[in-house]
């Protein structure tokens, strides 16, 4: 070989050099993405995803946490996760597995076989697995699960030989066939339930757990027959085919109606996809040394520091969460399995400390050995969320800022919602008591299924209580539509309880003394009370009580110590002040109690609508001259002065912003169409009276004629009055009154009206100041579009203010400012700030004028269509349109402060109570937001969360 090689090299040296020819190299096939991760491969997943949040996005919350628990050495059955990326690729490809995914899944299954020491499909040593969904954000029960995959006739016989427990094997087998039928093939639950009910009745037992082995074997075959009849295809005996179709079903369930509705309600993006978790089965139904449960590491109803949950001996997990059997409290496990309970309690503490939050855990005990099947951040009620956040901060597990971040505005909102009056409950007809799983008071008419609940609530605008034996994931649309949820079965971790807590719906579950007959639309209690669909019921999710009829509710006292503590922390973090919109002293008092730091909007026109004042307002409007107008204005002055004095006293030491009259004057007069109809009817009566008079004269009925004459006189007097009013209304009628003579324009046109209001403000302020009240009036001129409008109006009003203070020999600090609610005002805010000492954005009108729409017309018309078709991402009247209206706001702030560096700027439209808008107001540098008194606590939290996000 050596010689040949040398010769070749020598020969080559003698030959002329050849030009090298490029070889054709076949392109390398692109390496398939990694779609499957074993639980032990969490480090690889983290390298790929970069962050733990990325791991949760990739593997889903359930898969990520199972892998994390495996890494921590906790007892987790071997398994793997098919990624959310695979799910999205599957859906994008028309529901086909992406290339190489199935091969990776089978390879991972082989690795699990080695870890478990069992073989999938092998009758001698069978491995069974579960197939469960798991998205980044928890969606309990919204997607599909299949248990006991790998069972067939041959494997079942092998398991019987191994375990000596025929009952256990056929209990697992019939569950697989039923789940496969309902989840994979879409067969309805009812045929399966009818079979189970028949066998329970035959043996006189209440629970499936009490059925003997021979019945479970027969049930398995009957279930297979149902699958064949209803789906048209047989139950597959091939374990790999079972796994393939189960994986497909879980992927497809991401786009199922219940999952879609849940994501929409919870604000979860629709493009995340779900992971698929394949986990070695462990069995809680292998006798009295086995069991299963679901628990939270703290009480998620009230937040107290104790384990809470449900437990069953000799059962599988679905029995607990689906409410199939009445559960025992988790404390029962301490009595029957003390060693396992101690191990579980220790792990629960470990998980809570590791994740720095309350955990919702699923576990199974197989022949005395504890297995952890899931952990996730627990859903909790509003009251529990606040207490848990405060307690975790006090325990130094999280910071105060993190505690503030963890509480949502909806949690605060709960404390501002009605609860039943104690006296009303005492007088009411209590018909039952169940488990108090989600607090709050709910009153509504009974609806026995989800579709009916949704129809009654949305189409007929009725308050609904949805009642079911137990809820299922397919019921979620009805649960979201209902005011409250009532079930006869289920426990604290049942589907109904989880969804109710997630969405703040009052719920009472597990009412054992109540029979719910869905088919006949009838509810019957143990005492014989019968209620049917449409009957009124009241449920107290705080106590678990159920009442017939409607119980009166009241807004609770704002004195929860945990809430008060959390909001104080929020106040120490936020930069924005929170003020309130209040027109009356009682509103101001409530706002102050809720933590308002001022009044950002008092609408003076609301005071004009009161019965005793309206005649003077109308007389003022109908007056022909300023001199004629003086008398009714003089009558209104003391009313207005009293109003403002009440506000100053309620807000002693805090600013009170009073907006001068804003709406067009026609709003204080009768409707044009109603007046026209009244005049026409009166004229017809007068005309017909002539004919009636002739007839009465012929009959010689003098008394009838006299009575008729009196009636005609009254009708003619009212007719003259109505004609005068109609002429006035027609005289001031405008094609578009909301863009007509109103706001500052009306003040310039009728200066005596706004002068009266300013006089009332300053007389009240001076009187209060003399009495020791610390007053800070801010007078706000509405609808300014041009700086000259402000120049003219403000000079007249300042003159009046100075005159009153001279008369009263008292000085008060005050400010004059304007609302920015017309796009032009934002565009020329630098000029307007030459006169205005403060700005307040009136975002309702600013949104209307920027979009060029009428809110009242749009929200009952095309706007809903725009939202449905995603033309607009959200309702601009609910949350500020940051790219359009928001741009004008930022321009207004920046330009205004170019002229007046320390210009106070706030917002007083309804948007002021919207958390998203509050975050935007923080970003553009507003000084305060002003909202309804009931939104003040929510705004305090949202302002703090905005400060945290932007720090």
Decide the pairing of beta strands 514-517 and 522-525: antiparallel
Hey, what are 575's tokens?
């930069």
Handedness of CA 350, 353, 356, 358 (dihedral sign): positive
Q: Round the CA-based radius of gyration of the chain to a whole number and report it.
A: 37
How many angstroms separate the CA atoms of 586 and 592, rounded? 10
Q: Are the CB atoms for 404 and 945 separated by under 8 Å? A: yes
Q: Active-site residue numbers?
A: 495, 908
* Residue 782, C-beta contacts closer than 8 angstroms, at least 6 positions apart: 659, 660, 662, 742, 743, 744, 818, 819, 821, 842
By residue count, the chain amounts to 951
At residue 197, the 3 state secondary structure works out as helix
Decide the pairing of beta strands 441-447 and 536-540: antiparallel
Specify the residue for token string 């394949």: 278
Decide the pairing of beta strands 359-366 and 328-329: unpaired
How many angstroms separate the CA atoms of 922 and 914, rounded? 12
How many angstroms separate the CA atoms of 278 and 69, rounded? 15
Hey, what are 39's tokens?
């639980």
How many angstroms separate the CA atoms of 921 and 944, rounded? 12
Specify the residue for token string 């209060």: 768
How many angstroms separate the CA atoms of 252 and 245, rounded? 10
How many angstroms separate the CA atoms of 411 and 402, rounded? 15
Q: Give 6-12 contacts, CB < 8 A, sequence gap 24+.
A: none
928 phi and psi, to 5 degrees? -155, 160
At residue 287, the 3 state secondary structure works out as coil
**Percent of the chain as helix, strand, coil, to the nearest 5:** 50, 15, 30
Which uninterrupted H or E stretch holds 643? helix 626-650
Cα distances (Å, whole numbers) of residue 506 to 98, 436, 441, 538, 544: 43, 9, 6, 10, 10
How many angstroms separate the CA atoms of 573 and 405, rounded? 11
Q: Are the CB atoms for 58 and 48 separated by under 8 Å? A: yes
Q: At what angle do helices 52-71 and 42-49 cross, to 10 degrees?
A: 170
DSSP 8-state symbol, 35:
-
* Residue 459, C-beta contacts closer than 8 angstroms, at least 6 positions apart: none
Cα distances (Å, whole numbers) of residue 394 to 345, 387, 390, 398, 558: 21, 10, 6, 8, 22
Hey, what are 517's tokens?
């007959």
Q: Of the candidates 156, 166, 217, 228, which has an alpha carbon nearest to the alpha carbon of residue 191?
A: 228
Q: Are the CB atoms for 660 and 818 separated by under 8 Å? A: no
* Alpha-helical regions (H) of 473-548: 476-481, 495-503
Exposed/middle/buried for 241, CB within 10 Å: 0-12, 13-18, 19+?
exposed
DSSP 8-state symbol, 21:
-
How many angstroms separate the CA atoms of 92 and 949, rounded? 34
């Amino acid at each position: 070989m050596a010689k040949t090689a040398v010769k070749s090299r020598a020969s080559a040296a003698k030959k002329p050099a050849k030009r090298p020819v490029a070889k054709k190299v076949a392109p390398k096939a692109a390496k398939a993405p990694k779609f499957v991760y074993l639980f032990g491969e969490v480090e690889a997943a983290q390298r790929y995803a970069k962050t733990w949040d990325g791991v949760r996005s990739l593997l889903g919350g359930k898969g990520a946490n199972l892998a994390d628990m495996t890494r921590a050495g906790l007892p987790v059955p071997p398994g793997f996760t098919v990624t959310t990326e695979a799910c999205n690729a599957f859906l994008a490809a028309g529901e086909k597995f992406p290339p190489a995914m199935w091969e990776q899944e089978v390879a991972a299954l082989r690795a699990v076989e080695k870890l478990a020491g069992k073989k999938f499909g092998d009758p001698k040593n069978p491995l069974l697995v579960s197939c469960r969904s798991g998205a980044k954000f928890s969606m309990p029960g919204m997607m599909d699960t299949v248990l006991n995959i790998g069972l067939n006739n041959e494997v079942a016989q092998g398991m019987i030989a191994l375990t000596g427990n025929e009952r256990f094997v056929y209990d697992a087998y019939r569950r697989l066939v039923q789940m496969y039928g309902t989840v994979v093939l879409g067969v309805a639950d009812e045929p399966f339930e009818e079979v189970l009910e028949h066998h329970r009745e035959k043996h006189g037992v209440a629970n499936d757990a009490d059925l003997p082995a021979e019945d479970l074997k027969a049930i398995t075959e009957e279930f297979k027959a149902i699958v064949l009849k209803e789906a048209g295809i047989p139950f597959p005996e091939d374990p790999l085919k079972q796994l393939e179709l189960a994986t497909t079903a879980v992927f497809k369930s991401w786009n199922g109606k219940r999952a879609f509705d849940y994501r929409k309600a919870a604000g979860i993006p629709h493009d995340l996809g779900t992971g698929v978790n394949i986990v070695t089965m462990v069995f809680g139904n292998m006798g009295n040394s086995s069991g299963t449960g679901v628990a939270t590491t703290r009480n998620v109803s009230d937040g107290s520091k104790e384990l809470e949950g449900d437990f069953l001996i000799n059962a599988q997990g679905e029995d607990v969460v689906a409410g199939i059997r009445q559960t025992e409290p988790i404390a029962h496990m301490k009595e029957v399995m003390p060693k396992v309970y101690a191990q579980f309690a220790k792990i629960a503490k470990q998980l809570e400390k590791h994740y720095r939050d309350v955990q919702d855990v699923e576990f199974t005990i197989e022949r005395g050995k504890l297995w952890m099947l899931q952990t996730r951040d627990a859903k909790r009620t509003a009251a529990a969320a606040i207490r848990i956040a405060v307690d975790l901060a006090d325990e130094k597990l999280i910071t105060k800022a993190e505690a503030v971040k963890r509480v949502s505005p909806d949690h605060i909102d709960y404390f501002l919602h009605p609860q039943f009056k104690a006296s009303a409950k005492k007088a009411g007809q209590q018909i039952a008591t169940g488990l108090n799983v989600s607090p709050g008071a709910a009153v509504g008419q009974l609806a026995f299924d989800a579709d009916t609940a949704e129809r009654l609530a949305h189409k007929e605008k009725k308050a609904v209580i949805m009642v079911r034996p137990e809820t299922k994931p397919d019921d979620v649309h009805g649960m979201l539509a209902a005011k409250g949820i009532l079930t006869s079965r289920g426990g604290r971790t049942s589907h109904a309880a989880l969804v109710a807590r997630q969405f703040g719906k009052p719920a009472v579950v597990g009412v054992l003394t109540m029979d719910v007959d869905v088919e006949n639309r009838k509810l019957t209690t143990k005492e014989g009370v019968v209620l049917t669909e449409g009957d009124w019921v009241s449920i107290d999710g705080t106590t678990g009580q159920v009442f017939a009829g409607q119980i009166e509710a009241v807004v609770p006292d704002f004195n929860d110590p945990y809430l008060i503590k959390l909001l104080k922390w929020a106040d120490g973090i936020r930069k924005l002040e929170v003020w309130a919109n209040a027109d009356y002293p009682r509103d101001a008092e409530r706002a102050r109690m809720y933590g308002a730091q001022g009044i950002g909007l008092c609408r003076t026109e609301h005071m004009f609508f009161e019965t005793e004042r309206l005649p003077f307002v109308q007389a003022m409007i109908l007056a022909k001259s300023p001199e004629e107008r003086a008398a009714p204005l003089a009558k209104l002055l003391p009313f207005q002065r009293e109003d403002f004095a009440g506000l100053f006293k309620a807000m002693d030491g805090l600013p009170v912003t009073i907006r001068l009259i804003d709406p067009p004057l026609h709003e204080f007069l009768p409707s044009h169409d109603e007046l026209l109809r009244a005049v026409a009817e009166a004229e017809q009566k007068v005309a017909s009276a002539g004919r009636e008079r002739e007839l009465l004269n012929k009959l010689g009925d003098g008394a009838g004629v006299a009575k008729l004459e009196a009636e005609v006189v009254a009708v003619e007097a009212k007719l003259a009055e109505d004609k005068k009013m109609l002429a006035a209304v027609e005289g001031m009628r405008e094609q578009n009154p909301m863009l007509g003579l109103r706001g500052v324009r009306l003040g310039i046109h009728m200066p005596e009206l706004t002068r009266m209001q300013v006089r009332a403000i300053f007389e009240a302020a001076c009187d209060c100041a003399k009495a020791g009240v610390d007053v800070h009036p801010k007078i706000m001129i509405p609808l300014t579009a041009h700086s000259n409008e402000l120049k003219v109006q403000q000079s007249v009003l300042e003159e009046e203010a100075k005159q009153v203070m001279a008369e009263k020999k008292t000085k008060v600090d005050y400010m004059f400012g304007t609302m920015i609610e017309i796009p032009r005002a934002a565009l020329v805010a630098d000029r307007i700030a030459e006169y205005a000492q403060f700005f307040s954005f009136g975002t309702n009108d600013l949104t209307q004028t920027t979009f060029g729409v009428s809110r009242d017309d749009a929200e009952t018309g095309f706007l809903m269509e725009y939202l449905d078709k995603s033309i607009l991402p959200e309702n601009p009247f609910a949350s500020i349109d940051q790219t359009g209206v928001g741009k004008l706001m930022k321009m207004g702030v920046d330009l205004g402060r170019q002229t007046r560096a320390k210009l106070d700027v706030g917002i007083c439209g309804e948007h002021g109570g919207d958390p998203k808008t509050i975050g935007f107001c923080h970003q553009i540098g507003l000084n305060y937001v002003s909202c309804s008194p009931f939104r003040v606590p929510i705004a305090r939290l949202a302002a703090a969360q905005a400060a945290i996000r932007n720090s």
